[in-house]
């Protein structure tokens, strides 16, 4: 009951439930801290595709902007030059849009601020708050000290502003090799917060940037760029994950020292999911190592992978609402994400019949020359507006291999020799004979049907225990269906020494001889259905073609989340 209620709230608007961040914003609005404005931002680094963790951040930032009638800026934190970034930028924009993020005219790139950031750095130098250091990266690390020991000041720390200005300009002009010098903030080498021990602001990197080309050979560091980008854009609440908690002091120091507009940084716990890794570095490893077919592989926890798998954006948003936003790190069960997908598709996906492992059934008393026998089927019992469709019945059918047993145990209520079952929306049939090949494999069943049971009920009131799905052989559409399991076989793959060692060996099973009901011949890529009794399936956006459909199993019908809750595990 509560789940249903939450889900409905989720679909109305994201994050309808309160959280500690919204409490802070409410307080700021009450105190008129930011003159009534609410401006958030979503700032990915374009060094990979977005994943379900980013979806949480998208829902949070764009959700807040939507609910408070504010703005959410889409900003690429692209201070790290590298080759492949354009592909990542495009995929990120597509994924944010698909998730429902609407940035309006507020699309920004940190690289667009390089001139301004340089000017801010010069200002810090003039104020005696930054210096050029000639120590090597290794020496800087040695000088930094430890959690229990204060750091040591660099011998270059007390250069004059003039000398620093000249050296910094030389760095910009490319006069020094990579790694030979950096610009550092002059703060406190004895600070208990190690991040405050003269952090690096700029480094030399003679690498072309995907947007600024060869213009720069020095690049600003994240901590310097991020707060100033927020400030220049007039962001009010800069929401980031907990690992930046210690960086907040530096965020505040830069803005206060430069005496510029000062947004507020707020941290929340990042999403962790069972059977999943959410580190871009590791995801890149899976793609580059060929362990998956690419970033959009339906087993990947990327937004594009989930989209291809058939997860609706609305279901992902509902999931993000359910998990909420807190300051404590936690591991969310994959079963909850699947529950959200199942629950959403239950209401939105049309039911159809498909046989994945076909077994031929011949209805011996069905007339050879019967006129077309079209049976009416309900498209979605959860949605009366979805209406009905008709499905053809005929003398030769396919049922699921698993739905027949020659020597059925007590609890098996499906078909067996001499047994009667219902074919969904059609007739009662009784198995009269089993045909086998020379190896003893069952190749065909012979059955009889009762014409009086058309539509699926017996006028004499007799009951059957099993109802099977089926497809008429003469009308069936041949299809490929891909079944997915978790990509990893460990609940927490981060615990594996090498995450590639705990990849699930059977995470993909391809079935090439599937039989679908005729309406699925012309399915649109990305269209989703419930295959009755089997699960939810989505036409593959790359490989599915008219007349030759390819389906991905999105999720089964088994509600493992409900089971876990019953057991008190969730
Ligand atoms: P990685 O460390 O794997 O490279 P990242 O955090 O550096 O990931 P960014 O592109 O910098 O990735 O992230 C953009 C935004 O998404 C940031 O605000 C970040 O806090 C947020 N984000 C990233 N991962 C998660 C997660 N697992 N849960 C919630 N938010 C996340
Ligand atoms: Mg990052």
Q: Which tens digit of pLDDT belongs to each residue from 40-85?
A: 999 999 999 999 999 999 999 999 999 999 999 999 999 999 767 8
| Whether 280 is catalytic | yes
Evaluate: CB of 515 within 6 angstroms of ligand 1.
Answer: no
Q: Which tens digits make up the pLDDT trace of 250-302?
A: 999 999 999 999 999 999 999 999 999 999 999 999 999 999 999 999 999 99
Q: Which tens digits make up the pLDDT trace of 417-476?
A: 999 999 999 999 999 999 999 999 999 999 999 999 999 999 999 999 999 999 999 999
Q: How many residues appear in the chain?
A: 570
pLDDT at 569: 58
Query: What CA–CA distance (Å, rounded) separates 175 from 544?
Result: 55
pLDDT at 5: 38
Mean pLDDT computed over 220-235: 98
User: Which carries the bigger pLDDT value, residue 15 or residue 275?
Assistant: 275
Q: Which tens digits make up the pLDDT trace of 525-554?
A: 999 999 999 999 999 999 999 999 999 999
| Whether 184 is catalytic | no
Quickly state the pLDDT bin for 127 (edges 50, 70, 90): very high
The neighbour count for residue 527, using CB atoms within 10 Å, is: 18
Q: Which atom of ligand 1 is nearest to the CA of 244?
A: 20
Is the pLDDT reported for residue 13 higher than 90? no
Q: Report the separation in Å between the CA atom of 53 and the middle of ligand 1, taken as the mean of its atom positions.
A: 7
pLDDT at 83: 65
Which of 54, 109, 248, 274 best tests ligand 1's pocket when mutated (most atoms within 8 Å of CB)?
A: 54
pLDDT at 180: 97
Q: Which atom of ligand 1 is nearest to the CA of 283?
A: 3
Evaluate: CB of 152 within 6 angstroms of ligand 1.
Answer: no
Is the pLDDT reported for residue 105 higher than 80? yes
User: Range with the lowest mean pLDDT among 348-357, 495-504, 510-519?
Assistant: 495-504
Q: Which tens digits make up the pLDDT trace of 474-498?
A: 999 999 999 999 999 999 999 999 9
Residue closest by Cα to atom 25 of ligand 1: 53
CA–CA–CA angle 329, 331, 333 (5° rounding)? 155
What is the pTM for the complete model shown? Answer: 0.94
| Whether 495 is catalytic | no
Q: Exactly one of 280, 299, 515, 528 is catalytic; name it.
A: 280
Q: Report the separation in Å between the CA atom of 530 and the middle of ligand 1, taken as the mean of its atom positions.
A: 33
What domains appear along the chain, each with residue ranges and CATH number?
2-111+223-340 (3.40.50.620), 115-219 (3.90.800.10), 354-469 (2.40.240.10), 481-566 (2.40.240.10)
Query: What CA–CA distance (Å, rounded) separates 375 from 391?
Result: 5
Largest CA distance in the chain: 102
Q: Report the separation in Å between the CA atom of 13 and the middle of ligand 1, taken as the mean of its atom positions.
A: 23
Query: What CA–CA distance (Å, rounded) separates 534 from 469?
Result: 10
Is the pLDDT reported for residue 201 higher than 90? yes
Tokens representing 195?
A: 């991040």
Q: Is 449 exposed, middle or buried (0-12, 13-18, 19+ CB in 10 A)?
A: buried
- The ligand whose atoms approach the alpha carbon of 44 most closely is 1
- The ligand whose atoms approach the alpha carbon of 54 most closely is 1
Helix axis angle, 114-126 to 161-172, nearest 10°: 160
Q: Report the separation in Å between the CA atom of 44 and the middle of ligand 1, taken as the mean of its atom positions.
A: 7
β-pairing, 358-363 vs 396-400, is: antiparallel
DSSP label of 242: G
* Cα distances (Å, whole numbers) of residue 404 to 149, 334, 401, 431, 439: 72, 32, 6, 10, 18
Evaluate: CB of 270 within 6 angstroms of ligand 1.
Answer: yes
Is the pLDDT reported for residue 178 higher than 70? yes
Q: Report the separation in Å between the CA atom of 54 and the middle of ligand 1, taken as the mean of its atom positions.
A: 6
Contacts of 25 (CB under 8 A, 6+ apart): 38, 64, 68, 236, 237
Helix (H, G, I), strand (E, B), or coil: what is residue 532? coil
């Amino acid at each position: 009951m509560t789940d249903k209620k939450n889900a409905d709230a989720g679909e109305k608007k994201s994050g309808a439930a309160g959280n500690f961040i919204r409490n802070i914003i409410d307080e700021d609005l009450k105190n008129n801290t930011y003159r009534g404005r609410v401006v958030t931002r979503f700032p990915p680094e374009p060094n990979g595709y977005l994943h379900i963790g980013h979806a949480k951040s998208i829902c949070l930032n764009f959700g807040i902007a939507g609910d408070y009638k504010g703005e959410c800026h889409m900003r690429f934190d692209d201070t790290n030059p590298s080759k492949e970034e354009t592909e990542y930028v495009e995929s990120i924009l597509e994924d944010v849009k698909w998730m429902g993020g609407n940035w309006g005219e507020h699309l920004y790139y940190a690289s667009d601020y390089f001139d301004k950031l340089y000017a801010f750095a010069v200002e810090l130098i003039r104020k005696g708050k930054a210096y050029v250091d000639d120590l090597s990266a290794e020496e800087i690390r040695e000088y930094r000290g430890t959690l229990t020991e204060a750091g040591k000041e660099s011998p270059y720390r007390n250069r004059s502003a003039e000398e620093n200005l000249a050296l910094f300009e030389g760095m910009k002009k490319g006069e020094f090799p990579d790694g030979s010098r950096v610009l550092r903030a002059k703060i406190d080498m004895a600070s208990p917060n190690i991040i405050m021990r003269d952090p690096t602001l700029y480094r030399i990197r003679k690498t072309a940037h995907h947007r600024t080309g060869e213009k720069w050979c020095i690049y600003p560091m994240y901590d310097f760029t991020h707060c100033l980008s927020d400030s220049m854009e007039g962001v009010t609440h800069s929401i980031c994950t907990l690992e930046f908690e210690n960086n907040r002091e530096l965020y505040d120091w830069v803005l206060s020292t430069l005496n510029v507009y000062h947004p507020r940084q707020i941290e929340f716990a990042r999403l962790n999911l069972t059977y999943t890794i959410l580190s871009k570095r590791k995801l890149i490893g899976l793609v580059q190592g060929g362990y998956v077919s690419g970033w959009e592989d339906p087993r990947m926890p990327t937004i594009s992978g989930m989209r291809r798998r058939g997860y609706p954006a609305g279901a992902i948003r509902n999931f993000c609402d359910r998990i909420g936003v807190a300051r404590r790190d936690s591991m969310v069960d994959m079963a909850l994400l699947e529950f959200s997908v199942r629950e959403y598709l239950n209401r939105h996906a049309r039911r159809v019949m498909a046989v994945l492992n076909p077994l031929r059934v011949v209805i011996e008393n069905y007339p050879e020359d019967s006129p077309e026998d079209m049976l009416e089927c309900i498209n979605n019992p959860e949605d009366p507006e979805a209406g009905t469709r008709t499905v053809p019945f005929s003398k030769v059918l396919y049922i699921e291999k698993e739905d027949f047993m020659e020597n059925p145990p007590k609890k098996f209520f499906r078909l067996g020799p001499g047994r009667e079952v219902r074919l969904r929306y059609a007739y009662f049939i009784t198995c009269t004979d089993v045909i086998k090949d020379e190896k003893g494999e069952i190749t065909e069943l012979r059955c009889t049907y009762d014409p009086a049971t058309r539509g699926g009920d017996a006028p004499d009131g007799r009951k059957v225990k099993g109802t099977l799905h089926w497809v008429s052989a003469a009308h069936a559409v041949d299809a490929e269906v891909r079944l997915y399991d978790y990509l990893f076989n460990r609940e927490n793959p981060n615990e594996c020494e090498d995450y590639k060692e705990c990849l699930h060996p059977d995470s993909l099973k391809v079935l090439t001889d599937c039989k679908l009901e005729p309406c699925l011949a012309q399915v649109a890529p990305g269209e989703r259905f419930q295959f009755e009794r089997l699960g939810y399936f989505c036409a593959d956006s790359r490989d599915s073609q008219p007349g030759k459909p390819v389906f991905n199993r999105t999720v089964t019908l088994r509600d493992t989340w409900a089971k876990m809750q019953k057991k008190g595990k969730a």
